[in-house]
Amino acid sequence: MSHSATTDYFTNRRTIRRYTDQDVPQELLEALIAQAAHAPTTGNMQLYSVISTRSLEMRTALSPLHFNQPQVIGAPVILTFCADLNRFSAWCAINEADPCYDNMQSFIAAAIDTIAFAQQFNTVAELAGLGVCWLGTTTYNAPQIAQLLELPELVVPMITLTVGYPAEEGTDVGRLPVEAIVHKEKYEPWTNDRISNMYSEKEAREDSQKFVSENGKKTLAQVFTDIRYPRANNEHFSEIFADFLKQSRFTK
Amino acid sequence: MSHSATTDYFTNRRTIRRYTDQDVPQELLEALIAQAAHAPTTGNMQLYSVISTRSLEMRTALSPLHFNQPQVIGAPVILTFCADLNRFSAWCAINEADPCYDNMQSFIAAAIDTIAFAQQFNTVAELAGLGVCWLGTTTYNAPQIAQLLELPELVVPMITLTVGYPAEEGTDVGRLPVEAIVHKEKYEPWTNDRISNMYSEKEAREDSQKFVSENGKKTLAQVFTDIRYPRANNEHFSEIFADFLKQSRFTK
Q: What is the pLDDT of residues B24-71, one digit of tens each?
A: 999 999 999 999 999 999 999 999 999 999 999 999 999 999 999 999
Average pLDDT of span B225-241: 97
User: Given a cut of 80, is residue B87 above it in pLDDT?
Assistant: yes
pLDDT single digits (tens) B122-170 = 999 999 999 999 999 999 999 999 999 999 999 999 999 999 999 999 9
DSSP 3-state of A159? strand
- Local structure of residue A82 (DSSP, 8 states): E
Check: CB of residue B46 under 8 Å from CB of residue B113.
Answer: yes
Single out the residue of B33, B71, B234, B247 nearest to residue B142, CA to CA: B247
Q: Please, which pLDDT band fits residue A7 given cuts at 50, 70 and 90?
A: confident
- Residue B100 is nearest to which of A94, A155, A234, comparing CB atoms? A234
Contact B224 A39 (CB under 8 A): no
Residue with more model confidence, A113 or A2: A113
Q: Please, which pLDDT band fits residue B3 given cuts at 50, 70 and 90?
A: low
User: Given a cut of 70, is residue A1 above it in pLDDT?
Assistant: no
Taking the model in full, what pTM does it have?
0.98
Name which of B81, B178, B210, B244 to mutate to probe chain A: the one with the most chain A Cβ atoms within 10 A of its Cβ. B178
User: Given a cut of 90, is residue A145 above it in pLDDT?
Assistant: yes
Helical axes A104-127 vs B3-12, angle rounded to 10°: 160
Q: Which helix (H) or strand (E) holds B158?
A: strand B155-164
Q: How many CA atoms lie within 13 A of B30 on its CB side?
A: 12
| ipTM of the modeled complex | 0.98
**What does the radius of gyration of chain A's CA atoms come to, in whole angstroms?**
20
User: Given a cut of 60, is residue B211 above it in pLDDT?
Assistant: yes
**pLDDT at residue number A6:** 72
Instruction: State the Cα–Cα distance between residues A175 and A199, nearest whole angstrom.
Output: 10
Instruction: State the Cα–Cα distance between residues B148 and B150, nearest whole angstrom.
Output: 5
Single out the residue of A161, A163, A165 nearest to residue A80, CA to CA: A161
**pLDDT at residue number A153:** 98
Average pLDDT of span B164-185: 97
- The CA distance from A105 to the nearest CA of chain B, in Å, is 5
Instruction: State the Cα–Cα distance between residues B29 and B162, nearest whole angstrom.
Output: 12
Instruction: State the Cα–Cα distance between residues B48 and A36, nearest whole angstrom.
Output: 23
**pLDDT at residue number B2:** 54
Instruction: State the Cα–Cα distance between residues A177 and A186, nearest whole angstrom.
Output: 18
Check: CB of residue A240 under 8 Å from CB of residue A157.
Answer: no
**pLDDT at residue number A4:** 67
Contact A40 B195 (CB under 8 A): no
Nearest chain B residue to A194 by CA distance is B91
Q: How far is CA B38 from the centre of its chain?
A: 18
Average pLDDT of span A163-189: 97
Contact A103 B238 (CB under 8 A): yes
**pLDDT at residue number B240:** 98
Instruction: State the Cα–Cα distance between residues A48 and A82, nearest whole angstrom.
Output: 5
Average pLDDT of span B208-237: 97
Single out the residue of B23, B91, B9, B222 nearest to residue A224, CA to CA: B91
